[in-house]
Amino acid sequence: MDPRSTFKKLLPAAAFVAALAVMPGLQSCSKTDNKAAGGSSSSALSSDAASAVYVAPGKHDEYYSFLSGGFSGQVAVYGLPSGRLLKVIPVFSQNPENGYGYNENTKPMLNTSFGFVPWDDLHHPKLSRANETTDGRWLFVNGNNTPRIARIDLKTFETVEIVEIPNSAGNHCSPYPTNNNEYVVAGTRFSVPVTAEGKLQDISLKEYKDKFRGTISFLKVDKDHGDMNLDFQIMVPGFDYDLANGGKGPSSDWIFFTSYNTEKAGTLKEVGASQNDKDYLLCVNWKLAAKYAAEGKAREIPANYAHNKMNHETNQATSTMKKTVRILLPEECPDMLYLVPVPKSPHGVDVDPSGENIVISGKLASVIPVHSFSKMQTAIKNKDYIGDINGIPVLKYESVLRAEVKEPGLGPLHTEFDGKGNAYSSMFVSSEVVKWSLKDFKVKDRIPVYYSIGHLLIPGGDTKDPSSKYLLAMNKITKDRYLPTGPELAQAGQLIDISGEKMKMLLDFPLIGEPHYAQAIAAEKIAPNSAKMYKLDANKNQYATRKEGDTKVVKNGNRIDVYMTAIRSHLTPDNIEGIEVGNEVYFHVTNLEQDWDVPHGFAVMGAQNAELLIMPGATNTFKWVPTKTGVFPFYCTDFCSALHQEMQGYARVSAKGSNVPIAFSTGEKRKAPSQP
């Protein structure tokens, strides 16, 4: 029997409409409750909320939080509880602020099989793990649009690696680490007509149901250095894979993916993908998959994807095109994959700190089902199946279900946990955070958020060691919450105190881009390791100039290399002649400073480029192709010292073929003016 038709009969789509009609009544009741508890509106904020988030000038926050920038392609780092913005880290987007993706050093980071792609939609940050908890070494993030996974080094807060994911599209359920960071996984949201031979077909869109497939990719992470390597992929049915999370404790060997559009609609998915009453949770035994791959069950197929790495010794990124990938087919790998029915169109799948409860937040569902890992194991043992899809057994909903959280609110999206046996679910439609107990699965408290919350975060809330102090709600809509800024408004973070019985709203602050998900970690796991500068002695960049005496200008055909140094408060050389229109001029600027927080900038008038922002001890390269003759000032763009304004120079550009000899200098020795 086709399980999907059963579900259609069981829970007609009309049930959701009915829920919509009933829930507002429930909401208004709960809102009244909350007002009494003093947590639902700004006027009811108690004065201690201000002191709870006040971090005195010069003092540090307790947590770092890393919020995805969504369509900004960046990661924003905020301190918690203050909500102060500490840094914006460019990952998939060019960043004129520091030249990332513009300078010659970082351009290769944005290379893909499609060519140079200077933007992406960055959704999910995940911190690296050791001993089953966050270790503060790296942050993994995904690019959804052009499937990529990036790694940020938390010593330097810089993007150091980007791997393109082949045979995928809409890299959404990504990058989810296994419990000890053995793998980071990535899945397909927009299934595509990819063949088992790794060919993306040019076929009629009407063939969606038969020809479209998804893949789940496993990137192995080097324990010591964090380097990623696409180990293998699993080809899966052509659903939309939405979010994932690894198991922990007893479920450590497993990783779970929510899926929707199990109808395999290829158009108007808004309707087409919402017809089945149940979609599936894809459960992957990754340990077994890795074993199959190691045993040679994975077949090597042609592929073409970019693997980009930043080398901190040379401060130079390189991009390598990889030509093959190994793929596992589920029909050849028994016991590796199982499907568990879940209420339709699920979003988050979250495993509680014990590793036993698997919470599925179905954004169109009227309950939050909690599946049991141990019941799932029993069902697998008893072969308690209701069918199979592409050879993947489908378990029975009731056999795996532990409990359903009734009347949680509308549009549950995502759940995290505290350290006291409670779960907190975000409700997109009813704009609230709902606290419920993992003991009796009953709702304990609810607090409105402004407005339309997507994900939420509790520091460590996705690990076995969650904090029980703060929750950050990330809201998609702000409307009247801040001073208006025209039609385009910021999205919002709202910090909620979860230390007591009742949740309390503490702080509301605007965010950059769209925060899809975020991670937070105790500051002491990162702050002591934060680099202050690069060592000039260890600078292995091929264009590095370690002292002013070594600066030079070298012309070779149409190419001119300027070996320049920057130190408070001059550039060497600062007078350059002999450049001609159309020459490719490369300024290799080394910042000779070895002091904390003394970057120098570099910009040239008319350059069709961004600036350089060079950290102490580093060398960055700026390409300039002058388009007209004249004298072009260049200068330091970062206010470095009292004589920063004087830190400037001139490049003379002559007509093509004018043969002005190359000449360069800084500060000719002049006699001191005689004293009157």
Q: Where do contacts with other proteins occur on this chain (CB under 8 A)?
A: 567-569, 593-596, 641-643, 646, 670, 672-673, 675
The enclosing H or E element of 25 equals helix 14-37
Q: How far is the CB of 589 from other proteins (least distance, A)?
A: 17
Q: How far is the CB of 591 from other proteins (least distance, A)?
A: 12
Looking at beta carbons only, is 647 or 653 nearer to other proteins?
Answer: 647
Which ranges of 219-294 would DSSP assign to H, the alpha helix? 269-272, 286-294
Looking at beta carbons only, is 58 or 661 nearer to other proteins?
Answer: 58
Looking at beta carbons only, is 225 or 535 nearer to other proteins?
Answer: 535
Q: How far is the CB of 595 from other proteins (least distance, A)?
A: 5
**Could you tell me where the beta strands, DSSP code E, fall in 81-212?**
84-90, 111-112, 115-116, 126-130, 133-143, 148-153, 158-164, 176-177, 183-187
Other Cβ atoms within 10 Å of 550 Cβ, number: 12
37 touches 502 (CB < 8 A): yes
Tokens of residue 289, six digits: 């998959």
Q: How far is the CB of 593 from other proteins (least distance, A)?
A: 8
Q: How far is the CB of 535 from other proteins (least distance, A)?
A: 9
Q: How many residues does the chain have?
A: 676
Closest among 426, 437, 408, 444 to 493, alpha carbons compared: 426
Tell me the helix, strand and coil percentages in the chain, rounded to 5.
15, 45, 40
Looking at beta carbons only, is 221 or 592 nearer to other proteins?
Answer: 592
Tokens of residue 262, six digits: 């199990």
Q: Is 179 left (phi over 0), alpha (psi -120 to 50) or beta?
A: alpha
Closest among 287, 285, 289, 261 to 275, alpha carbons compared: 261
Looking at beta carbons only, is 449 or 567 nearer to other proteins?
Answer: 567
294 touches 413 (CB < 8 A): no
Looking at beta carbons only, is 268 or 642 nearer to other proteins?
Answer: 642
**Through-space distance between the first and last CA atoms of the chain, rounded to whole angstroms:** 106
Other Cβ atoms within 10 Å of 229 Cβ, number: 12
- Relative to beta strand 575-580, strand 648-654 is parallel
Radius of gyration of the chain (CA): 28
The 8-class DSSP code of residue 5 comes to H
> How many Å apart are CA 587 and CA 108, to the nearest integer?
18
Looking at beta carbons only, is 113 or 641 nearer to other proteins?
Answer: 641
Q: How far is the CB of 616 from other proteins (least distance, A)?
A: 9
Looking at beta carbons only, is 15 or 55 nearer to other proteins?
Answer: 55
Helix (H, G, I), strand (E, B) or coil at 442: coil
Closest among 249, 498, 218 to 351, alpha carbons compared: 249
Hunting for tokens 């995502």 — which residue is that?
Answer: 414
Looking at beta carbons only, is 297 or 644 nearer to other proteins?
Answer: 644
Q: How far is the CB of 186 from other proteins (least distance, A)?
A: 42
CB under 8 Å to 500, separation ≥6 — which residues?
Answer: none
Looking at beta carbons only, is 511 or 589 nearer to other proteins?
Answer: 589
Q: How far is the CB of 615 from other proteins (least distance, A)?
A: 14
Q: How far is the CB of 597 from other proteins (least distance, A)?
A: 8
What residue type is assigned to position 621 of the chain?
T
Q: How far is the CB of 495 from other proteins (least distance, A)?
A: 28
Looking at beta carbons only, is 445 or 638 nearer to other proteins?
Answer: 638
Q: How far is the CB of 642 from other proteins (least distance, A)?
A: 7
Looking at beta carbons only, is 483 or 672 nearer to other proteins?
Answer: 672
Is the Cα torsion angle 225, 230, 234, 240 positive or negative in sign?
A: positive
What distance lies between CA 83 and its chain's CA centroid?
19
Q: How far is the CB of 253 from other proteins (least distance, A)?
A: 47
